[in-house]
Structures are given as structure tokens and as C-alpha cells.
Chains A and B, each alone.
Chain A
Amino acid sequence: MPESVNITPDANVVAETAPNKKPIWKRSKFLKELSTNKALFLMMLPPFLLIFVNYYLPMFGVIIAFKNFNYVDGFLRSPWAGLQNFRFLFMSDAAWRITRNTILYNLAFIALGLIFALLFALALNELTSRLAAKFYQSVIFLPYFLSWVVVAYLVLAFLDPNGFYNKTLTKILHLPTVDWYASPQYWPFILVIVNLWKNVGYGIVIYTSGIAGIDPEYYEAAVLDGATKLQQIRYITIPFLVPFMIVTTIINLGNIFRSDFGLFYQVPMQQGLLAPTTEVLDTYIYKALIMTGDLGMSSAAGLYQSVVGFFTVLFANWAVSKISPENRIF
């Protein structure tokens, strides 16, 4: 019976326990679904294969963190190295530094991103002219659409030794010249400001849509009771947005181990001197892989990021499901 070669073990069991003359594809649950919905299966086959190749094959590939990988032997035949790669990684001072940088930057982005987006959205909402509010919102949203390469250009135009700060601002305001690209101490501030500048527009859109969803009757009632503007914001708008702020924050905290590669790679322009304060997990992994070719270190750091990131996301979701179950992701 040639068909039986390809059927699943499950279908075999069914075949043994219920011997009847029905064709094999009607006896297996999966094959039955396959035949009734073959068009649907056929539709999702190309995207399914793409997901499998692009996302799932690399997941199996994480075993190289436990191997002495070389390109000739590939994923499967390279010799095992046990935990050696991880031992090297965590014995180096890089591991602590990049973990600290990644977490601290993300905390700053989450906290300031929330505060500024909220304040801006509240203020835009109070403008008397709706047209002006729309205009401001559009302009503030513009930087979000620029690539990090462009942002790197913009930052350079200000901070270059020949740039706007060193040649113009220093003259007007009598400030000392600063070689920004050789002074790591300033970069935590620069990167936080640049990130806010680029992304605050996105947050504003989200909070504005949240504010738009509040029933105006609440405000009417508040006005009748003589509430001031600040009281309305304090007792109506903010409480309405709180669940949303909590959920966004927790989801962002879940991603605390991941960072925006473009920001940390492009904006400091890969200046070695800036590494102590600008290197994060993603840039470290990239540099170890491409520049130094240290596959052991980079794959170990990559798996460390993936696994810890996986658990922080799960934990974040668990926390959301406790606080507001309707907002949990799964």
C-alpha cells in the first residue's frame, strides 16, 4: 500500500483500530481537514513556508551557541563546545556593560516616551484651533518617518567638529567647543533626546486617539460642576488613559532586552570611543559577528538576548493579564 508511507503515525493508529474500507485521507483528522479545506491550505502554503524559513530555521540554529561553529561544517556537523561560549561571554566585562546599557536606555525611553507623549497629547487636545493642533501633530510626527541613516546625518550636522554647535552656537552663546564624537559621557543624553525626537510623534498619535475615545458628556458634566481644566485632565482624561499607559509600559518592559539597532549603530557613527556608553546587546552581537567574526561570542550573546527577552515578554503578558485581562496579548 504505497500511500501508507507518507501518513502520520496518528493516522496509522486510526487505521489499525478502525479497519474499514474508507480511503486513508478520510480516516485521519488532519488529512480530512486538508481535503475539505484544501484551498485554504494551498493559500497559506507560500507564506507558511516563508515564515518557516525566515523565522523557524534560525530558531533551530540557536544550537550554534553551544558549538564551535565553522562555516565548512555548518550548523549540524560543527563540534560541540558545551557552555564554553557563554563562559567567555559572561567572564568578559562586555556582558555586564551591554546588559546595563540596554536596560538603562530602554527604561529611559519608556519613562520619558510615556511622559512626553502624554503631555504633548494633552496639550494638543486643549488647543482652541483644531486645525493648528492637526498641523502641529503632523509636523511632530515627521521625524518618525526618517530612517536612522538620515537621523545620523542630522545629528552630525549639529555635532560635527565643523557643525552647527561647534561653529555657530559656541560663538553666539560663548560655549566651549566639544568633540562630541569623542566624548562618551554626553551620549546617554544625546541618544535619549534623539530617540524622543524621532518617536514622540508616534506616542502622541496613540494617546490622541485614546483621548478622542472619551465621551464628551463626562467633560460637560464636569463643567456643570465647576471643574477647572486641570481638574478635568486630572480626574477624567488621565484615569481614562491609565489602563492604556499601564499596558503599553508593560509591553515595552517586556521588550527591555531588545533595542533599536539603527539608533545605536547609526547615530554614534560606530565611533570606538563611544562604545562604553552606546554599545547595547544588538550592536555588540552585530560587531562580534561581522567585524571581529567571533561567532561563539555573538551567538552566545544572541541566545542570551533571545531567551531572557522571551521570558520578559511572557512575564509582561502575565502581568497585563493580572491587571487588565482584556488587554493581554495572548
Chain B
Amino acid sequence: MKLGKKKSSTLRINSVSPSVNLALNIFFSVYCLMCIAPLVLIFMVSITDQTSLAINGYSFFPSKISFDAYKYLFSDLGKLFRSYGITIFTCVVGTFFCVLFTMLYAYPISRKSFKYRNFFSFFIFFTMLFQGGLVPWYILYTKYLRLQNNLIALIMPAVMNAFYVLVTKTFFSINIPDSVLEAARIDGASEFRIFWQIVIPMSTPVIATIALFSSLNYWNDWYLCLLYINDPKYYNLQYSMYQALRSLQFLTSSLASASGNVSSSLANVPGETLRMAMAILGIGPIVFAYPFFQRYFIKGLTIGAVKG
């Protein structure tokens, strides 16, 4: 107690002067504003009236507010719901397999009684050092596995990740003592039972971490969709947003080059506010969930910082 008191008083003496503290606070407030401002701008554009947007351009303070873009989006919910559905499905299924397979692979290679653990550790680790690259991978998936326009192509590539496996392996070898496993074995528990009833319940922190990393990864994925999906039925959320961005982009760049005038802009092209509304509906869930999961993410990163 005495020590704690002493510590805090030293800390108070040792803190920066009020003026420096104020300056730092101002700096960080401004920087934080810069982190949020772009999101606010997008939101403001999405609720701006299309014609006033064409005249005044993008602004934080729309001169005329209109929710037409959202009304339009909500009148044609099918497409939006579908892409949400695809994203949620891949996110749930992918994260489930990611956690399960990572545990299944990491557990044996964390066991000292397993003779080939070094070989199997290296087998996954080597994938961090050397990759075959995009071209053979793409040909394998399209020509040999025939996964084009198949949801498996959106899930399978991100299930196994060397980094997750090494983090989980380290977690197992630090947090699950051999004596516990030995005791279970003497009591006659089978390996599978030990895995389900002892290892899994003891690993909730690392499971939460992997699940969080993995679901964020699936939620934000557009790359796999870009490579393997060309049927709009299977577009996920991010990829639909990308398409919305691109098709208008295509229009604007052809308009600009036709008139040869930079500032002629996309004034008359309808749907700019629509596009931004789409973006807001895509960004929304992450921003709302963020305050709840970011703490765990930071914790998870510190677990991950342990050498694999």
C-alpha cells in the first residue's frame, strides 16, 4: 500500500507540465478528428440532395438535406440483403473453420510427446517464407478445383494462416501444462476427449483472438471475390461496394475525358449520393461494433506479440 502511494505521488511529480499536456491534447484531438472526418464526410454526402450536391460539391455541411438515397436503397433491399447475407455466411462459416482447424493443427505441434511436431511446425511456417504466388494459385482454384463462382472460394483460402497457428501453438505450450494432460490420460481420457474437454475450455482467450482476427478478415474481404466471383449473385458486401464505386468511376472518367475539362466532373451523373449511402450501410456495422471489440483486439495483439 505504502509503495503504491509512493509510486502514484512520484508519477504525479513526474507528469508533463499542464501546458505541454494541453498541447498534446489539442494535437490528438485534431488528429482524431482527421480519423473520423472522412467517415463523417461520406455520411454527409449520402444525406445531401443530389442536385445541390452537383452544384456545391462534397461538403461537411450540406445545403439541402435529403434521404432519397436511403429511400432508394431501402426500396430495393434484395440486392443489399443478398450481399450482406453472403458476407455474414462466409464470415460465420469461415471463422468457425478457421478457429477449429487452427486449434486442430496447433494442438499436436504443441505437444512434446509428438515426435514429428518440428516437421509439422515447419510445414506451416514455411508458408510464411515462400509462396507460389498469385498465378499458380489462381489456376489451381479455377482450372483444377473449379471453384469459380463458388462460395468455397471465398472461405477456403483464408482458413489456415501460419500466423494464427504459431500464436495458438505458443499459447498452448505456455498455458496448458503437460501435467494436466498427463493426469487426464491416466484417468483414461482419449486424445479427442482431452482436446474437447480440457484444451478447448482452457483456451478461450486465444480462441476469441483468432475468431476476432478471422471474422474481421472475412468481413473486409473483397480480394477473393475479385479473383473468383463474377456472378453478381455471389458478390459479398465489400465487393458490391467496390462495384458501386467502380461503375460510377468508369462513367466519370469517360465524361471527364470527353469534355476534356477537369472540373466538368460527374455533376449530372445520378447516384453519387446513392453510392455514398451504400458505403455507409457497408461501413456501419464495423463502426458500431468497433467500441465493443477493439479492446479485445488490442489484448489479442499482445497475445500475438509473444514469439511464435
Contact = CB atoms under 8 A, between A and B. Distances in A.
Contact of B253 (A44, A136, A271, A285): A271
A209 B297 CA distance: 13
A186 interface: no
B149 to A, nearest CB: 15
B272 A162 contact: yes
Contact of A47 (B13, B56, B104, B221): B104
Main secondary structure of the interface of B (DSSP, over half): helix
B7 A126 contact: no
Q: How large is the interface on B (under 10, 10 to 19, 20 to 34, 35 or more residues)?
A: 35 or more
B127 interface: yes
Contacts of A182: 256, 262
Contact of A216 (B7, B111, B135, B249): B7
A177 B264 CA distance: 12
Contact of B130 (A50, A145, A229, A310): A310
Interface string B264-300: 1111000010011001001100110011001001100
A305 B136 CA distance: 13
A169 B139 CA distance: 47
A50 B127 CA distance: 12
Contacts of B219: 147
A43 B132 contact: no
| Max chain B C-beta neighbours (<10 A), residue from A69, A123, A313, A326 | A123
Contacts of A48: 105, 120, 123
Interface in A138-170: 138-143, 145-150, 152-158, 160-164, 166-168
A299 B108 contact: no
A6 B254 CA distance: 64
B101 A141 contact: no
B302 interface: yes
A7 interface: no
Interface string A197-235: 100001001100100000010011001000001001000
B91 to A, nearest CB: 13
Contact of B20 (A126, A269, A286): A126
A184 to B, nearest CB: 15
Given A33-B115, A150-B241, A43 B195 contact: yes
A162 to B, nearest CB: 4
B131 A39 contact: no
Main secondary structure of the interface of A (DSSP, over half): helix
Q: How large is the interface on A (under 10, 10 to 19, 20 to 34, 35 or more residues)?
A: 35 or more
Contacts of B272: 162
Given A132-B25, A164-B41, A205-B298, A57 B140 contact: yes
8 contacts: A46-B104, A59-B130, A71-B143, A166-B57, A197-B34, A216-B7, A295-B135, A329-B308
Interface of B: 7, 10-11, 13-16, 18, 20-21, 24-25, 27-29, 31-32, 34-36, 38-39, 41-42, 45, 53-54, 56-60, 101-102, 104-105, 107-109, 111, 113-116, 120, 123-125, 127-140, 143-145, 156-157, 159-160, 190-192, 195, 216, 219-223, 227, 238-239, 241-242, 245-246, 249, 252-253, 256, 262-267, 272, 275-276, 279, 282-283, 286-287, 290-291, 294, 297-298, 301-302, 305, 307-308
What 7 A-B pairs come out closest when comparing CB atoms? A167-B57, A61-B136, A58-B132, A39-B191, A302-B133, A147-B220, A154-B38
